[in-house]
Copies of this chain bind each other. A is one copy, B any other.
Amino acid sequence: MGDQRAKADLYEQFARLGKAMASPRRLELIDLLAQGERSVEDLAGAAGLGVTSCSAHLQVLHNARLVVTRRQGTRIYYSLASDDVARLYGEMREVASRLLAEVEPARRAYLGDDVEVIGREELLRRAAAGEVTVVDVRPAAEYAAGHIPGAISIPIEELAQRLAELPPEIEVAAYCRGPYCVFAHEAVRVLRAAGRGARRLADGMPEWRLAGLPVSAGAPTQAGA
């Protein structure tokens, strides 16, 4: 009874998941993939990795079945295997922030001083009433892969130049990749510095989607060009 071999095999399988999530680089890749599918080179650039290294990490994620691939022409697009992955990753961050005292200082060091927050319900309510402009400050490709209905896309690097596109006197709600992404924090700072009312959504697109709230897809409608 109780084959040691079989038992070890079983735990080995579970550990595959843990091993896949045991590297900060891979967690960053998961974070990026939670925004939508991306090619290897693209991911490497976004995560600051060499292409070879990035590919190797993606193989590890693939072997643990956390990601799936789709080939289109000469490039291969990776995406998360299911919502389970994003959910598990989110849970992992939450548990880490509760258990590890070092998370909070690291968060502050990266995100800077806290900025005011707006909740999902309030955002939905006030957006429907036209009392708030919802702005997606992630790169355009991530907006195209999925965004809050009615949100306009202004990547954080362009925000300072495109303030005129935002109706004045109306508060802005900015959102980005998630609770540990700088973009929304930066956006609120830029907007406040320009004298606008602005808050950030407490978390980002993946959490919004996991909460079952509506999501639109498609490139932004280019009003100007």
Residues in A lying within 8 Å of B, measured CB to CB:
1-4, 6-25, 27-28, 48, 64-66, 81-82, 84-85, 87-88, 91-96, 98-103, 106-107, 109-110, 180, 182, 186
Most chain B CB within 10 A, of A9, A14, A93, is at A14
B22 and A19 form a contact (CB under 8 A)? yes
Kindly state the separation between the CA atoms of A102 and B19 in the bound complex, as whole angstroms. Answer: 16
**A21 nearest CB neighbor, chain B only:** B18
4 closest A-B pairs by beta carbon, nearest first, are A11-B24, A18-B21, A6-B110, A22-B22
Given contacts A65-B99, A65-B100, contact A27 B15 (CB under 8 A): yes
Chain B residues closer than 8 Å to A109, beta-carbon distance: 3, 6, 9-10
B96 and A14 form a contact (CB under 8 A)? yes
CB distance from A206 to the nearest CB of B (A): 15
Kindly state the separation between the CA atoms of A3 and B103 in the bound complex, as whole angstroms. Answer: 16
Given contacts A6-B106, A99-B84, contact A27 B11 (CB under 8 A): yes
A to B CB contacts below 8 Å, 15 in the list? A2-B182, A9-B110, A10-B110, A11-B24, A13-B103, A14-B93, A15-B24, A15-B27, A17-B92, A17-B95, A18-B22, A65-B101, A82-B98, A85-B95, A88-B92
CB distance from A204 to the nearest CB of B (A): 15
Kindly state the separation between the CA atoms of A57 and B41 in the bound complex, as whole angstroms. Answer: 37
Identify which of B84, B85, B88, B100 contacts A64 (C-beta below 8 A).
Answer: B100
B13 and A28 form a contact (CB under 8 A)? no
Given contacts A64-B100, A82-B99, A92-B17, contact A24 B3 (CB under 8 A): no
Chain B residues closer than 8 Å to A11, beta-carbon distance: 24-25, 27-28
**A84 nearest CB neighbor, chain B only:** B95
**A19 nearest CB neighbor, chain B only:** B22
B17 and A100 form a contact (CB under 8 A)? yes
Kindly state the separation between the CA atoms of A96 and B63 in the bound complex, as whole angstroms. Answer: 12
**A89 nearest CB neighbor, chain B only:** B14
**A28 nearest CB neighbor, chain B only:** B11
A81 and B99 form a contact (CB under 8 A)? yes
